[in-house]
Structure 1
C-alpha cells in the first residue's frame, strides 16, 4: 500500500504534524468520550493511549471512526519499523482502512452534513462515509494529471508522521471522504481501501472476459482480487497459497476457483509448471494475467514463469526493496509485461457501486472483530497466521457526540 519518499522531497518535521492536517496550530477540543488510539513506536512497540481531539479546519471534517481494518502494512510497521524507505521514527497512530460518521464540519465544507448534537430535540445523524486515506498535495504535475496516487508529498494516514484511523475521533479533509449508500455497512466501507488496491491493479493489468488468470496469495488482497477477477469475467482462475486453510476459504468464497498449494520442495519454475497444468496443455489457454498479491520474491518469480507468452504479471503485493532473482531474459523473450501499482486513484466511487450494487460481496472476508479498546489484541490476532484470520477489523459501536 505504501509509496516511497523521494530524497528531493524530505519527510516533514514531525513537530509540524498533528492528528489532522493543519499542523501544530490546530485547536484541540474536549470530547464527551475518551479518544483511545493504537500507536506504534520507533522501537517496534505498540501502545494504547488516549490521543488529543482536534477541531476540523477549513475543508475538513471531524469523524467518529466506526470501523478500521488491520492491514499487513500495519504489521510491517510494528514488526520491522519500515516499509522500504517509509520509516517509523516516532509515535504514530496506525490504521488506514476506515469508515465512520461525520460529527463536525469545518468552514467551506458543502458536500457533507454533520450530525446534530444535544440539546437539539430532533437528533439528525451525520453522513456515513468511507475514508480515502491518502491526501495528495493537489499542486504538483502528477496531481494535475490526475495521477495523484504518485504524488511525492502525499499525507497518508497511518504512515509516520501522519496519524491513522485506529482512534475514535479523526480529522480528515472532506474531499477524501466518500458517502456510503444506505445498504453498505461501516465494515464494508472499511473494505473499500483494499478493494481500491485491487481495482487499480486489475484495471492496469487488463483482465479479459473468458481469459485465464492466476491470483498469487490467498490473503485479504488476494481474495478480494479473486472476487473482482471473477466479477470481471476472467476464467478459469487459479489461486495459490502455502496455507491450505486459506485455499479452503477461497474455495468457499468463490466456488468456481481452482486452488494450488505452493510446494516448498519445488523451485519457482517447478511450481509454475504445476500451476500451468491446471489450464491444460495448450499455450493459448495458459493464464494471460497473473495478479501477484504477496510481494514475496519467490512468488513474483513464480508468477513470471506462470504467465503465458505475451501475458502480464501485475505485482500488487508489497515486497522488499531489492529483488535479485527476477528472470529478466525469460520476461524479455516472452514479452511478458511486469507491472506494478502504487495504491490507487479514483476508485472509491466505482468501489461503492460494486458493494452497493451487489457486484461484490466482501462481508465473508471479515472473520474477526475487536472493540477499539482491544485494538492491541486485533493486531496480535492478525500477525499470527495460525489463528486462521482473514480480515480483522476494529469496531467502535459507541454513540459519539462532540
Structure 2
C-alpha cells in the first residue's frame, strides 16, 4: 500500500490548466492520490512547465483536511464526486521554483501560500467579487484537478500569496482553514464584547475559537463530544468555557445548559448573539439554533449531510434567527497573513502530527482515526531544491 506506482493519468495529475509540457525536476515527484473505488495510493506524478501566468512551486507543507478523508472514505462531498484518480490536498505553502511567461508578482525563491480555488474570472459572480461561488472554479484536490499532496505543483501566480519571513510554511498552510473561519466571521458579524458560541473543537472549530477571541467576543463557549479536545481548547485559548455535548440529551436541553454557561438562564439578554457551527452535524446545528439569542445569527461553517430534515423552522422563524452558510472564502489570504505575521492569532499550536511526503498514506490514516488524538496533521517536504 505504501509503495510508489510509476504510472499516472495525465488528465488528473497535471496542473490546473491541464498543461502537457513536462519539466525535469531535481527530485522525483511522489503524490498521494485517491481513486474512484475509495483507495489511496502513492504515485509518481509528472511535473509540468509553468504556462502563461503560472508558477511552478515546491510544495513544502500540506495540511490534511476533513474533505480529503471524505473523498477517500465516501468518494464524494455533496455534488463533488471522485470519478477517477486525483491528487489530494489543498492546504498548502511552498517556494516558487520557476515562473511562466507574464508573471510579474513572483520570482524564484519567493515563499508563498496557495489559495487553492481558481475561479473562471468572467461569470457574474466573479465580476461581483463573489468568486467563491463561481460554478466553474477549478479547486486543487477536487477531481479532476490535481492537489498539493505532491512535491511539485503548477498553480496560477494570481492565486499564490507571498508570506513574510516570520510566518512558517506550517503556519502558511493553515491560512486555508483560517480563511474558512475569516469568511464565516465576516458574514456572521461578531461584535466586540458580545458572547459567542463555537460548536465543534476540531481544527476549524479551534481556529474559530481563537479568531472569535481575537475579534473581541466575550465570553466564548466551545462544545465538543471529546473531552481531550475540550481540554486542549482550554489550554489553547485560556478563559474560554467548554461544554461537552451529549447526544443522549435533546438539542433544547443541551441549549439550556449552554445558555447557563453564558449566565443567560435567568436573563436571555446574555445568550450568545453569534453561533459559529463548525461540525455540520444536524444535532449540533439544531442545538445552536436553540442556544442563540432571539434575533441572533447561526453561521454554519461545517460541512454536513446533503439534506437536514429536523431544523426547528418555526423557532427560527419566530425568533428571527439568521441561519447563514458559507462556501469556502474570498479575499481572505491577505488578512490571514496579517493576522499571523502580526501575532493577532496563533495557529501553530494546532499542528499535532507531521509526516514526510513519502509517508503521506500513514498521515492520512492517522488523521482518519480520531482515537489517535490528532488535531491538524501536516505533510512536509524538506528536500533541498535549487531555483531557476
- What TM-score, normalized to structure 1? 0.92
Find the counterpart in structure 2 of residue 202 from structure 1.
Answer: 185
Q: Structure 2: where are the runs of 5+ without partners?
A: 1-8
Aligned pair partner of 1:213 in 186, 193, 196: 196
The alpha-carbon deviation at position 264 of structure 1 amounts to: 2.5
Find the counterpart in structure 2 of residue 346 from structure 1.
Answer: 331
The alpha-carbon deviation at position 268 of structure 1 amounts to: 1.0
Find the counterpart in structure 2 of residue 178 from structure 1.
Answer: 161
Find the counterpart in structure 2 of residue 374 from structure 1.
Answer: 359
- The answer to whether the Cα contact below 8 Å between 1:223 and 1:250 also exists between their aligned partners in 2 is yes
CA distance in 1, matches of 2:190, 2:38: 39
Q: Secondary structure at the residue paired with 1:99?
A: strand
Q: Secondary structure at the residue paired with 2:96?
A: strand
- The answer to whether the Cα contact below 8 Å between 1:291 and 1:315 also exists between their aligned partners in 2 is yes
CA distance in 1, matches of 2:71, 2:278: 19
Q: Does 1:106 align with 2:89?
A: no
Q: Does 1:250 align with 2:233?
A: yes
Q: Secondary structure at the residue paired with 2:229?
A: helix
Find the counterpart in structure 2 of residue 7 from structure 1.
Answer: none
CA distance in 2, matches of 1:257, 1:16: 47
Residues 210-252 of structure 1 deviation map (CA, whole Å, 9 limit, x = unaligned): 1110000000000000000000000000000000000000000
Which shifted more, 392-401 or 343-352? 392-401
Map 1:307-318 onto structure 2 (within 5 A). Answer: 307-318=292-303
Q: Does 1:295 align with 2:280?
A: yes
Find the counterpart in structure 1 of residue 3 from structure 2.
Answer: none
Find the counterpart in structure 1 of residue 269 from structure 2.
Answer: 284
The alpha-carbon deviation at position 16 of structure 1 amounts to: 5.7
Q: How many correspondences in the alignment?
A: 377
- The answer to whether the Cα contact below 8 Å between 2:12 and 2:143 also exists between their aligned partners in 1 is no
CA distance in 1, matches of 2:80, 2:326: 17
The alpha-carbon deviation at position 17 of structure 1 amounts to: 5.5
Aligned pair partner of 1:83 in 71, 74, 77: 77
- The answer to whether the Cα contact below 8 Å between 1:142 and 1:150 also exists between their aligned partners in 2 is yes
Q: Secondary structure at the residue paired with 2:293?
A: coil
The alpha-carbon deviation at position 26 of structure 1 amounts to: 2.1
Find the counterpart in structure 1 of residue 14 from structure 2.
Answer: 19
Q: Please tell me the root mean square deviation across aligned C-alpha atoms, in Å.
A: 1.1
Residues 95-124 of structure 1 deviation map (CA, whole Å, 9 limit, x = unaligned): 00000000000000000011xxxxxxxxxx
Q: Does 1:391 align with 2:376?
A: yes
- What TM-score, normalized to structure 2? 0.96
CA distance in 1, matches of 2:219, 2:248: 26
CA distance in 1, matches of 2:296, 2:178: 23
The alpha-carbon deviation at position 399 of structure 1 amounts to: 1.0
Find the counterpart in structure 1 of residue 90 from structure 2.
Answer: 96
- The answer to whether the Cα contact below 8 Å between 1:18 and 1:26 also exists between their aligned partners in 2 is no
Map 1:155-194 onto structure 2 (within 5 A). Answer: 155-194=138-177
The alpha-carbon deviation at position 301 of structure 1 amounts to: 0.7
Q: Secondary structure at the residue paired with 1:358?
A: coil
- The answer to whether the Cα contact below 8 Å between 1:26 and 1:57 also exists between their aligned partners in 2 is no
Find the counterpart in structure 2 of residue 267 from structure 1.
Answer: 250
Residues 282-316 of structure 1 deviation map (CA, whole Å, 9 limit, x = unaligned): 11110000000000111111111110100000000
Q: Secondary structure at the residue paired with 2:358?
A: helix
- The answer to whether the Cα contact below 8 Å between 2:115 and 2:160 also exists between their aligned partners in 1 is yes
CA distance in 2, matches of 1:59, 1:279: 51
Q: Structure 1: where are the runs of 5+ without partners?
A: 1-13, 115-125
Q: Does 1:39 align with 2:24?
A: no
CA distance in 2, matches of 1:77, 1:47: 13
The alpha-carbon deviation at position 22 of structure 1 amounts to: 2.7
CA distance in 1, matches of 2:87, 2:128: 31
